[in-house]
Structure 1
Amino acid sequence: MLDELGALLDQALTQGRRPGYLEVADALAIEAPLRIHKTTRLLEVLLKRDAEAGQPLRSLLVTSKTRPGRPAEGLFERARRLGLFDDDPEAFYRREMARLVKSD
């Protein structure tokens, strides 16, 4: 399912779209219960995989209903725990979004 998630986010990037967590869950046919939680876990695994490969962090494309235009706070916490940044989360987000756009 991780490869499907990566492909979905690659397509969203190419199309200039920012899917929400529910849209991702629907596209991947993630079943209840805890659909958003399962989606979040997949996004965290993809975040780690992209980071280890030195690739732009595609998980940051997904937007939260509670934080319009931004991923959920937990994704930033995961990135910090992985050692991907130690400064301002907003600065980290802007840097990574620039890398994503540049990679497209």
Structure 2
Amino acid sequence: MSVRISRQHWLALLDELESARRSRSLLTYRSVIERLGLPQPAMVTLTTALEYLAALDRREGRPLRSALVVSQSGTRIPREGFFDCALRLGALEGSPQVTDAVSWHAAEVTRVFEHRYPDHHQE
């Protein structure tokens, strides 16, 4: 199954992530889906878009903005697929234990907060 995100939703996703970065806050998957009004299958569309963005960020040597989207469970870390994607992209090495994943994620979020990303409205 091929999943696509509209340009309007893509730009809105980048805006949400930039706003979260500037305010040094995290977003939940659910809140992003609701704010963007993603059509069904919304979670599949969002995770596909976040993985694509992670690949773009990794290719450009930037921290992974997709780290700002987390589960609303008590862990406040992304779902397992995020870590699988980070492993595939070479951003995360080995097979991290939960505590290692939590600390790696916290460090990546800090890096995202401190990084200045290009303005996607000028591309």
Common fold: TM-score over 0.5: yes
TM-score by length of 2: 0.73
Partner in structure 2 of residue 20 of structure 1: 28
Partner in structure 2 of residue 36 of structure 1: 43
What is the number of residues matched between the two proteins? 103
CA–CA distance in structure 1, aligned partners of residues 72 and 44 of structure 2: 14
> Is 1:4 matched up with 2:12?
yes
Q: Deviations over 1:8-41 (max 9, x none)?
A: 1010111232111111112222112x21121111
> Is 1:94 matched up with 2:106?
yes
Distance apart, 1:102 and its partner CA: 2.0
> Is 1:74 matched up with 2:86?
no
Partner in structure 1 of residue 4 of structure 2: none
CA–CA distance in structure 1, aligned partners of residues 44 and 31 of structure 2: 13
CA–CA distance in structure 2, aligned partners of residues 17 and 29 of structure 1: 20
SS at the partner of 2:84? Answer: helix
Q: Is the contact between residue 51 and residue 57 of structure 1 (CA under 8 Å) also seen in structure 2?
A: yes
Amino acid at match of 1:9: L
Structure index of larger Rg: 2
SS at the partner of 2:70? Answer: coil
Structure 1: any 5+ residue segments left out of the alignment? none
CA–CA distance in structure 2, aligned partners of residues 13 and 82 of structure 1: 22
Structure 2: any 5+ residue segments left out of the alignment? 1-8, 117-123
